Structure formats: structure tokens, C-alpha cells
Structure 1
Amino acid sequence: MKKTLRVVLYGLLALVVTGGVALVLIAKIALAPAKGEWAAELPIGPIRLEAGVPTLVRLATSPWFGPHLDGRRLDTRFGPVQLAWNEAGPQLEARCAPCSAVVAALGAKPVRLDDLRVTVRRDADRLAGELSATPPAAAGAPGHPPALTGRWDGKLSQRDLQVNVDMADAPIAQWYAVLVPDMPELQRAQIGGTLGLRGQFTQP
């Protein structure tokens, strides 16, 4: 009896291991980048697979796979990123809170945000969405400064993602609060005027 039970358990274990290996191989084949395709390493448990970024973007923004990302949390070098799926869009929302990144043009000190939100919806290879950036509250100031908001769109190809960003007009003081919040003059200076921003960039 014990011998039979042991054989059954070994058989079940072999099936589980075989199934796990098969799933990894399927994922590796399905996500493998084509020649010349924009690629990145994707950690799956203890295994790291090289995956095509355009394939990952299409999966994450598809109405049949995107809902499975709802509630997922990713630990990135910028900060924890919480994912949410909005069925009405349909669109994916990524929220990084708190968030920080080094912007070379602003020096070595990272730009810090209490909250950065980006939404993305896809129509074939066209992407679009909204974004908002909320700076940390100034020392001694009640609440948070208003968020900077804007829209973006982009074209996804096998090699890259071309992005256009259009940030709404906002008081210049609000931009300073996001980009250089530690500037001493910011706390006492009277800064007038508004500023909008339009730009383009390509990833990678």
C-alpha cells in the first residue's frame, strides 16, 4: 500500500514538474523577440526570459489579458507600481506611488513624486492615454500641490515606441514644485505665469 502511494505521489510530482517546464518553454517561445525586435528581460519567478517588448505591450493592453493584471504590483527601480484594469476604457492604469527618477538635465538628484499615474489604451499599434504627476507636499504646507496633467499618444513598432506628450497649461510655480521642489527660493518667491509642455521621444 505504501509502495503504491509512493509511486502515485512520484507520478504526480513528475506531472507537475513536466507541466511547469512546459509552461516555461511555451512562454519562452511565445514571448521570444524576433530578430531586431525591441527586447527586455522578463523575470518569471527564479527564471529570467528575454521577451519582445511590443508583444508584452500588446498583451498587457488586450481586453482578454489586461484584466488579469488588475491588482498586480510591480517593484521597479522607480518605485512600487500598482496596476489596474478599467473595463469601460478598456485601458490599463499604472500608478507609481511614491515615485522617483533621475533626469539628467536636472542634475544627479532624483525628481520625486508622491503619485504618478499613467493610463494606456491601444487601437492596433496606436497607443494613447492620460498622465498626472503629484509632487510631495512642501514642508509645513497643508495638503499636496495640484497635480500636473496631460495626454500622450504613441505608435508602437517592432523596434521602438514613438511617444508624443502634451502637458496642460499650469502655473509655473507648480512646475517648479515638481521639478525642483528643494529650491530655497520656491518657498518665498512669487512666481507668476503659466507653462504648458509638448514633446516627443522614442523608446528604447
Structure 2
Amino acid sequence: MLRAAVALADEYGIARLSMRSLAEVLGVVPMALYKHVANKDDLLDGMLDVIVGEIDPPVEEREWRDVIRRRVLSARRVLRRHRWARRVLETRTAMTPGVLAYTDSFIGMFLERGFPVDLTHHVMHAIGSRMWGFTQELFDDPEADPAQAAADAVPDQAALQQMAMRYPNVLRVAMASTHDDGVVGRGCDDQFEFEFALDLLLDGIGDRHARGWTSARPGADR
């Protein structure tokens, strides 16, 4: 049932998923589903646990940076297959068993490779949603159609002139990248930007770990 619900959400989006639509796919009456889940929220929790199970387990090696990076990018691939899952993750008020197990395993990747509990605590705050393969980017809409978003991101000449006058720094940064088609200002390569920020974060974590950083040490970097 849960895998059928995941497939339905993948095809039509989470907004169109209902107990009735799922029952139709399964060929049962809607009331039959309530033997397995209490309500739609319970269904969504179960669906999350299904897709969390698709994230690759940690690789067996000691280099913490590679282990973390591979796990995060595996999570990102999973969430890109199930684009509805990000919004569901963001709206959960309690951790499901699958989410708890993944979080526990993620923390363990640091602790088992020599990170102290104190640093690991702050690292988890810094990583945030990136452990799931996404992060809130500037002007980001997780449910936007990529093709439409790319088209909407191209301003006309009048808009560019107005932006240059009112928001010169925003325009300067937004127009900085030249992409494969030679057109500037069409938006960013999401995968490249995600990996760039992830590597930047991991470099900073490694630096703190190498210096024996602790939040209790007088004069520690904050």
C-alpha cells in the first residue's frame, strides 16, 4: 500500500494524493485503508519511511568526509526521484521511525570516526536539511516546474535596466554565471551549487575538528 502511495505521489504530486485516489489504484474501498493507517498524515509518515529506506547506507571506510558526502548525495538523488518528499519532510511535527533511524545513523557517521559529541551537536545544526539532500536556496520553490522556472528567470531588457538601478548588487551576482548555452542570468546549476556548498561546509567542519574545537573552550570560534 505504501509503495503504491509513493508511486501515486511521484506521478501526480502530493496534492492529488488522497485516501480515495489510493483506494482506486489498489482496487479497494477507502475504508479498507484505515485498517493499515489512521489518516492521511499517518499515510505520509509511512511513505517517508519507504523513501528513507532508499538512501544508501554509509560506506565502510574511515575517511569521514567521503562517507558524509556520499550519504548526503544519495539522499539528494532519492529526493529528486520523489520531489513531493521535501515538502512532507518540512511539515512533519514528529520524527517517524525511519527518519529517526536515518538521523541516528547520520550522527553515528561522525561519532564513530572520532568526532566529539559537542562538535557533532553543532555540526548537525549546521548541516540541517542538507543531510536530506536539500537546502532552502534563495528564491527556491521545491514544487516549481523546472522548465517554467528557467523561462521565468529570464528578465526582459526593461526589467534588467530597472534592476540595475534599484538592486545593482543582486543583478551583478545573478548575472555572473555563463551557462552551457552561453546565456547569462538563466539561473544556477542546482546540483553544482549544492555540492559546492556541501564541500564548503565539510571543509569548515574538518578544520574545526582538526583544531580540537569545543564550544566550552574560552575564546572558541562561534
TM-score relative to the length of structure 2: 0.26
TM-score relative to the length of structure 1: 0.27
Which structure has greater helix proportion?
Answer: 2
Which structure has greater strand proportion?
Answer: 1
